[in-house]
Amino acid sequence: MKTLAIQRSLFFGLLLWQSPLWAAVTEGPPVPPSPLGGETILQVLMGLGLVLVAVVFCAWLMRRLLRIQPGANGQMRILGGLSMGTRERVVLLEVGETQLLLGVAPGRIETLHVLEQPIQVAELKTHEGFSKQLGDALGKLRGQDVS
């Protein structure tokens, strides 16, 4: 019986003596994450993916809302357009010296008329820089008069 009491007192004494040592070991400086660890690589890939999605979205938004279209070396231009419904449009297109009136619908484009005498349209500002065209388009979206 006396040995059992001694064993218990030794056990609890060692346990009480060890707990401050355990606390000292766990309170050390934090270990920085490895630069090649899975969490870091995942973070970098998620950031890269977010940037790529933002770039694609901005390009789509500019093309959709601002109607900035690359030209075909000056040989083809859209002179005007008119919406005829939710998904149908009539577009006046100039190819070289010929003007075409096209009907555009989802999955279908038809030539409505080939104009014998070209319609005089105000000259497009193609000689200006991209920043000027972008500023004009943003001004139109805001409802400002752009001259």
**Which residue, 126, 125, 131, 133, is CA-closest to 66?**
133
pLDDT of 81 higher than 90: no
Cβ contacts of 126-134, under 8 Å, gap ≥ 24: 126/71, 126/74, 133/68, 134/66, 134/68
Contact of 78 with 69, CB cutoff 8 Å: yes
pTM of the model: 0.39
The mean of the pLDDT values for the chain is: 78
Rounded to 5 degrees, what are φ and ψ at 32?
A: -70, 150
User: Tell me: the pLDDT tens digits for 122-134?
Assistant: 665 555 677 787 8
DSSP run (H or E) holding 109: strand 108-115
Grouping H, G, I as helix, E, B as strand and the rest as coil, residue 57 is helix
